[in-house]
Chains A and B, each alone.
Chain A
Amino acid sequence: MAIEPAYIGAYTLSSALGFGNEATIASLKNVKGGLTEYALKPSGITWFGLAEPPAHVQVPSRLAEYDNTCARLITGALLQDKFMEHVEAAKQRYGKHRVGCFIGSITSSMCRFEELYNEMAKANDTTTVVPLKYHGGINTAVEFTRRFLDITGPCATLSTACSSSAKVFATGYRYLRAGLCDAVVVGGVEPLCESLIYGFKGLSVLSTKPCKPWDVERDGINIGAAAGFALMTLSKTSPGDFVLKGFGETSDAYHMTAPHPQGAGVEACMRAALASAGLSASDIDYINAHGSGTPMNDITEDAAICRVLGERVLCSSTKGWTGHTQGAAGITEAIIVLLGMRESLAPGTLNTTNVDPGTRCNLVLNNTPHNIRYALSNSMGFGGNNATLIFGAPQ
């Protein structure tokens, strides 16, 4: 039984590829990746996908207590692509209390928590109390976003590691279907946060080079910062609306940080998404893989993709362009998929040159002109948490 689709009337992405959709697509078309060298302390390097809003972007004075790197990233992102105008139109149409807000993030404003600890350590300060409501609390990103947009419908932070902002689409869809709201802002936010960089370094999966998903020499991930948002409704708002066609959510039940060795969880997730979309493997024109660039992820995801979708469908990982944007990865890649549909472009797998001979999916190394009617995007996170989204071109 296929679900009734939801419609995406507005969307915007800000990442290392630039702020807003046009900057993003220009970087993709000009093959200008967003990763830059990042010095580790006390020594070593990695590569990072920095997303810094333009200098003139400031948190509004009415929300000054939230001002930190996270809030500035959200502000800079929400100002792009007339996204706020679309939200205003939804508020006018339905009432601000009927517009929900669900944001996926792992760290939210933890970056400010880190800064304050660093400052306190340097000053030998043991008395300052960090106001978690504004800085460091996991819920700050959604609270800031809904206040910035002045929407008061149902809201929550979803934090399921790297699948967080893929799962917001499923949650937003359910709230719409349950009649709890008429429009929903779904998003993902992950600013530069040292806990992620040094945490993945501790797990020995942080690459010292630009990441190379599916490459025989791949050796790990690069982290990236990003913020992306989409406005979703059950009724079409314009002929150009994209469609959330289906989704799947499963768990590996295998390991806290390692993927299932045969990719069983992500396989079940893709099958569930296809069934909920009422589509078969032959309907999918493009796959945006989770493709983190770790040896284990890519080999297991490749096997799962081939079992579900065969070896024909064009597939790429875009993490070589943006870095792994963690809690924002789901929506980062969802919007890259939508832009690929809009531009009839299957983005290449940047940095990858020598595809692992142990993999079999139809990996796109270079940007390829390609009409995409339906596309599938995978996200996988700690806890073996999987989410698959299927989007459709405007119908």
Chain B
Amino acid sequence: MKPIFIDAVSVYGKGLLSWDHAKEVFNHLERYDATQIPKLDSGYLTPNNLRRTTHHMHIAFQAADMALKGSDAAKERVEFVFATSDVDLDVAESNCLALSLHDKEISPQKFQNVVLNAAAGHLGVFMKNTSGSTTVSAQDNNFAVGFLQAYTFLQVNTGPASQVHSTPASPVNTTPALLVAYDAPFETRHGPGHRPFFCVGMLLTANQTPKSMMSLTPNLVPQPKPTALGHAELEAIRTTAPAAGCLPLLMALAKKTNDTVELVYTEELGLKVSLCNL
């Protein structure tokens, strides 16, 4: 497999206030403090946008915005790859409760916000992004599945099919991909339990750029053996927040040493990612 490159990272989770802060924590695990809650301060979280969207989406907006700010990519010209374990179950529950009532009235806002691509859809409108946008789900393994989705987008040049802003003659796709994997806890009594919120954003490219931090080369392998974190609290987040499946990769990125980590892709497959300094 050929490598791709990572230009920027954002992270939003308990005790992980920003990518710069997360790097500090990952290099000095004793500094991890789960009581520290990051702020949602994306410019896209205006009062009007907040009213129209849900917390499940807000953390995705935050991670997307921060990852883009750390890169040189134009926000109007990046491919969106969003990954989340499920639709906003609070909205789904609200809609189901409405359907169980006599008049079966579902509000238009709740209807548009129950689709899985609601976060990517709203953000695409906010950013005026006309590139392609794909939202994937893989239940507990959404980061690994989203990462591979972004990888195939970058590595397979389909001409102008999905990259109206790319260079057609390039052997790879010259449009960068913005990967956002996100999960929020749901209050619904029928949801997956008390899942911690977690969100990660990555600006990925097919070609090395001046901003490239490391190269990443994925490979699917049989029988997943995920890399453990060696820190009980972070390991608990990794195993309970699907988007936090990326934590071994983030930790290796923070240490900036050549390394290979393994993430769970499916019950049968692991995703090994080899990181290499440039």
Contacts and interface: CB of A to CB of B under 8 A. Distances in A.
A272 B89 CA distance: 35
A113 B135 contact: no
Interface in B82-102: 85-87, 89, 92-93, 95-102
B128 interface: yes
B129 interface: yes
Contacts of A152: 266, 268-269
Interface in A235-259: 246-257
Contact of A159 (B116, B153, B164, B168): B116
Contact of A157 (B101, B131, B138): B138
A275 B130 contact: no
Contacts of A254: 125
A221 interface: no
A203 B111 contact: yes
A120 B145 CA distance: 34
Nearest to A152: B268
B120 interface: yes
Contact of A2 (B1, B122, B159): B159
Interface string A1-44: 11100000000000000000000000000000000000011100
B137 A253 contact: no
17 contacts: A114-B96, A117-B190, A118-B96, A154-B220, A156-B149, A171-B149, A174-B155, A202-B105, A250-B132, A253-B125, A255-B125, A256-B118, A273-B161, A276-B158, A276-B159, A276-B161, A383-B125
B153 A174 contact: yes
A51 interface: no
The SS class assigned to the A binding surface is mixed
B220 A180 contact: yes
B103 interface: yes
Interface stretch (A84-92, A137-145, A296-304): A137-145
Nearest to A143: B139
Contacts of A156: 136-138, 145, 149
B105 to A, nearest CB: 7
A139 B137 contact: yes
A2 B160 CA distance: 9
Contacts of A249: 132-134, 161-162
A178 B151 contact: yes
A248 B108 contact: no
B271 to A, nearest CB: 9
B124 A106 contact: no
A130 B124 CA distance: 33
